[in-house]
Structure 1
Amino acid sequence: MFRVLELGSNISAPLAGTILGDLGYDVIKVEPPKGDDRRAIPPFKEGASVYFSSVNRNKRSVVVDLRRSEGLEVFRKIASTSDVVLTNYRPRALKKLHIDYDSVLEVNPRIVYCSITGYGGTDEPAYDATILAESGLMDLTGEPDRPPVKFATSISDVTTALTATVLVLHSLLTGRRPVFLDVSMIHTQLYLILEDAYALLNVGLEPRRTGSSHRFLVPYQAFQAADGYVYVSVFNDEQYTRLCEALGREDLKVYKTQEERLRNRDKIVGDLQEVFRRNNRDYWVSLLKAYDVPCAPVRKLREALEIYGKSMVREVRGIKYLSFPSNVSRGVELPSPRLGEHTVDVLKELGYTQEEIGTLIKEGVVMDEGLK
């Protein structure tokens, strides 16, 4: 089993660690005495932050004061037995504590060292929203006549975690070791912009906010029904014809091509919106699906979880978790760890005696969950 040493806080590195834990890796989360900052974010259940729990299952927590020489020695022993170091700490802090790539390389010449930063190897602080603002994604999100908005979820943190996971797995699969992986949040977001970035780079087309609608496809947006919203995704001419037939608007078939529909967007959208207001959401979804028109109800999160999430939910130690969306994951075997919950167990695995462990705890070098 591969071992991952995580030096993570907040979302990006901890989520990458959780994914690797879900896939069966032994993930040891080394935390400072105060713990990951995310532990303090409400709401709480069973004494644990559900925000922390969302990105910290299937790993073990070891508390080590890395400012102490004895604590650094504990870290080096864990690093020497690990295959991966995963971190989103600032490079300056890593170097100051002697836990940076070069330092780990001294004790483990086969290490895969993955460093997540906001802007690629810099110490500039970065959070999900600031990266969205810097990347141009926030400017592209929202209604055209309204201010820009952030995503509903921490999308830059999540996608950076996924990118880091892919790179770690690739390094382990190919045996490319040692290796330093520099994973940048800003570059990850620029990569994910895809078609808008390519349109700007190649034909100079400057994208603008379009709300729920598509820039080049009509109709491809949310329509308000009597009791909610329906998202209609018409991608080609045949689907558009079937949509017109389903809604009894044969007259709108005159706009046969995407180019014609783009030129007449306001007319088409306005006419269709009048129709959708006449009945409820589920009526329209049922009708359009009968005509093989791609569509979906715009659901609330609670509704989506009740319909699609039941098979993913696992409850461990009073906290409900969403399992990794794959049948090859091991599921949620370990709940999010209490601060320092596994310190003693890991130290014993490293060969420390009970007496040595007791001394380290007494002197405040390490902390065990049961002996705070």
Structure 2
Amino acid sequence: DISMLESSTSWLTVPIALTATFNKKITRRGNTHQFFAPVSAFKAKNGYVYIAVGNDRQWKAMVNLPLFKSLDKPEYEKNEGKINDVVNLNQSISEILSTVTSEELIDLFNQIGLPISKIHAILDVLEDPLIKRRLLKSRDSKSGLELTLAPPPFVTPFLKDSDNTLSFPPRFGEHNSEIYSTVLGYTESDLVTFKEKGVI
């Protein structure tokens, strides 16, 4: 079993270690990383990408690209220098990336083995083949409304057997007669009395 609490807490690797071990006060960081730069979301010409340069070798490969030559500075050779000037560094990268598309950038980074990913709009996520086949569906037989819901992190045998289709939740009191009569054994006159007294 995987709980929402456990799965979301597992993303707090660095903040938990810094707080519990070193008594550091952790603040919001957005998409950046406390110890590595550049690691963030950046706007390209046609959308956003997430770049994660985690070491000096990766940085050297990045600034060897003609597009990033202007960032090949002695003060940025080591990660410490990039972290110390991260605001200016990220601003410079943003200016450079505004001249290229996310696809061009992904192609460049893939050629040199640097981590990068396009940040997809929700409509793009819905069309992803892996996601599309795992989306949950539900249909209200009364109104005809069809709901599409996010896929769960783990596909259960129940979902496999139901082809990822869930029953629509009942309306308030929709199954009162069935439950009170069939399951609990109350008569039709009992139900009328319950309604008059505001029990159901």
TM-score of the alignment, normalized to the shorter chain, above 0.5:
yes
Give, in angstroms, the shift of residue 304 of structure 1. 2.1
Counterpart secondary structure, 2:25? coil
Q: Judging changes above 3 Å, is the alpha-carbon distance between structure 1 residues 266 and 192 closer, same or farther for their aligned structure 2 residues?
A: closer
Give, in angstroms, the shift of residue 245 of structure 1. 3.7
Paired residues of 2:138 and 2:167 also in contact (CA < 8 A): no
**Are 1:276 and 2:97 matched, yes or no?**
yes
Paired residues of 2:138 and 2:166 also in contact (CA < 8 A): no
Give, in angstroms, the shift of residue 209 of structure 1. 3.9
Distance across 1 between alignment mates of 2:4 and 2:180: 30
Distance across 1 between alignment mates of 2:50 and 2:41: 4
User: Match of 1:316?
Assistant: 139
**Are 1:335 and 2:168 matched, yes or no?**
yes
User: Match of 1:96?
Assistant: none
Structure 2 unmatched runs, 5+: none
Give, in angstroms, the shift of residue 220 of structure 1. 0.4
Q: Judging changes above 3 Å, is the alpha-carbon distance between structure 1 residues 194 and 344 closer, same or farther for their aligned structure 2 residues?
A: farther
Distance across 1 between alignment mates of 2:182 and 2:107: 58
Amino acid at match of 2:148: Y
User: Match of 1:351?
Assistant: 184
Give, in angstroms, the shift of residue 225 of structure 1. 1.5
Distance across 1 between alignment mates of 2:10 and 2:67: 42
Q: Judging changes above 3 Å, is the alpha-carbon distance between structure 1 residues 191 and 310 closer, same or farther for their aligned structure 2 residues?
A: closer
The alignment's C-alpha RMSD in Å is: 3.6
Q: Which has the higher contact order (CA 8 A, sep 6+)?
A: 1
Q: Judging changes above 3 Å, is the alpha-carbon distance between structure 1 residues 321 and 343 closer, same or farther for their aligned structure 2 residues?
A: farther
Q: Judging changes above 3 Å, is the alpha-carbon distance between structure 1 residues 191 and 276 closer, same or farther for their aligned structure 2 residues?
A: closer
Give, in angstroms, the shift of residue 190 of structure 1. 8.7
Q: Judging changes above 3 Å, is the alpha-carbon distance between structure 1 residues 295 and 190 closer, same or farther for their aligned structure 2 residues?
A: closer
User: Match of 2:25?
Assistant: 206
TM-score, scaled relative to structure 1: 0.41
Structure 1 unmatched runs, 5+: 1-22, 24-160, 167-188, 367-372
Identity %: 20
Distance across 2 between alignment mates of 1:300 and 1:190: 25
User: Match of 2:4?
Assistant: 162
Q: Judging changes above 3 Å, is the alpha-carbon distance between structure 1 residues 343 and 294 closer, same or farther for their aligned structure 2 residues?
A: farther
Distance across 2 between alignment mates of 1:240 and 1:226: 22
TM-score, scaled relative to structure 2: 0.70
Amino acid at match of 2:4: L
- Kindly provide the CA deviation profile for residues 212-236 of structure 1, in whole angstroms up to 9, marking residues without a partner as x: 3222110101122123222112233
Q: Judging changes above 3 Å, is the alpha-carbon distance between structure 1 residues 336 and 293 closer, same or farther for their aligned structure 2 residues?
A: farther
Give, in angstroms, the shift of residue 320 of structure 1. 1.5
Number of equivalenced pairs: 185
Q: Judging changes above 3 Å, is the alpha-carbon distance between structure 1 residues 337 and 246 closer, same or farther for their aligned structure 2 residues?
A: farther
Counterpart secondary structure, 1:249? helix
Counterpart secondary structure, 1:216? coil
Amino acid at match of 1:235: G
Structure 1 runs of 4+ off > 6 angstroms?
A: 189-192
Q: Judging changes above 3 Å, is the alpha-carbon distance between structure 1 residues 259 and 346 closer, same or farther for their aligned structure 2 residues?
A: farther
Give, in angstroms, the shift of residue 334 of structure 1. 0.8
Higher helix share: 2
